[in-house]
Amino acid sequence: MKMRGVGIGSAFYGTGYGNGFPDISRCQVELQKDGKVAVYVGATEVGQGAKTIMSQMAAEVLGLPLEDIIFSCEDTRLTPDAGTAAASRQTYNTGNAIKKACENLRQRLIDVAVAEFKFNSDVGVTMKNGLVYFKTFPSKSITLQEIASKFVEVPLREEGVFTAQTTKMDEETGQGAPYWPYTFNVYGIILEVDTETGIVDILKAVCAQDVGRAINPELIEGQMDGGFAMGLGYALMEDLNLQQGQMKHKRFSNYLIPTALDIPELEKIIIEDPESTAPFGAKGIGEPVMLGVAPAILNAIYDAVGVRITEIPVTPQRLLKALKK
pLDDT tens digits, 226-253? 999 999 999 999 999 999 999 999 999 9
Instruction: Give SS3 for 237.
Output: coil
- Per-residue pLDDT band for 16 (boundaries 50, 70, 90) equals very high
DSSP 92-128: IIIHHHHHHHHHHHHHHHHHHHHHHHT-S--TTEEEE
Query: Residue range 299-312: average pLDDT?
Result: 96
- Is pLDDT above 90 for 47? no
Q: Is there a common fold for 2-15+179-324 and 24-163?
A: yes
The predicted structure's pLDDT at residue 74: 85
Instruction: Give SS3 for 19.
Output: coil
Query: Residue range 29-54: average pLDDT?
Result: 95
Specify whether domain 2-15+179-324 bears CATH 3.10.20.30: no
- Is pLDDT above 90 for 161? yes
- Hey, what CATH class is 24-163 in? alpha beta
The predicted structure's pLDDT at residue 23: 95
The predicted structure's pLDDT at residue 68: 98
- Is pLDDT above 90 for 316? yes
- Is pLDDT above 90 for 325? no
Higher-pLDDT residue of 140 and 63 is: 63
Mean pLDDT of the chain: 95
**Total residue count of the chain as it appears in this document:** 325
Compute the distance between CA of residue 82 and CA of residue 97 in angstroms, rounded to an integer.
Answer: 9
Compute the distance between CA of residue 262 and CA of residue 7 in angstroms, rounded to an integer.
Answer: 18
The catalytic residues are 287
**202 neighbors 297 (Cβ within 8 angstroms):** yes
Higher-pLDDT residue of 60 and 48 is: 60
Instruction: Give SS3 for 148.
Output: helix
For β-strands 2-14 and 24-31, DSSP reports them as unpaired
- Per-residue pLDDT band for 48 (boundaries 50, 70, 90) equals confident
CA 60 centroid distance within chain: 18
Side-chain-facing half-sphere of 225: CA atoms under 13 Å: 13
Domain ranges of the chain: 2-15+179-324, 24-163
Q: Write out the E strands in the chain.
A: 2-14, 24-31, 37-41, 69-72, 125-128, 131-134, 137-143, 157-163, 182-194, 200-212, 242-243, 246-247, 266-272
- Per-residue pLDDT band for 176 (boundaries 50, 70, 90) equals confident
Q: What is the dihedral of CA 75, 163, 281, 110, to 10 degrees?
A: -70
Nearest to 295 by CA among 214, 212, 219, 228: 228
Compute the distance between CA of residue 223 and CA of residue 292 in angstroms, rounded to an integer.
Answer: 14
Nearest to 9 by CA among 292, 309, 304: 292
Compute the distance between CA of residue 48 and CA of residue 224 in angstroms, rounded to an integer.
Answer: 11
Q: Residue type at 126?
A: T
Nearest to 75 by CA among 106, 47, 43, 99: 43
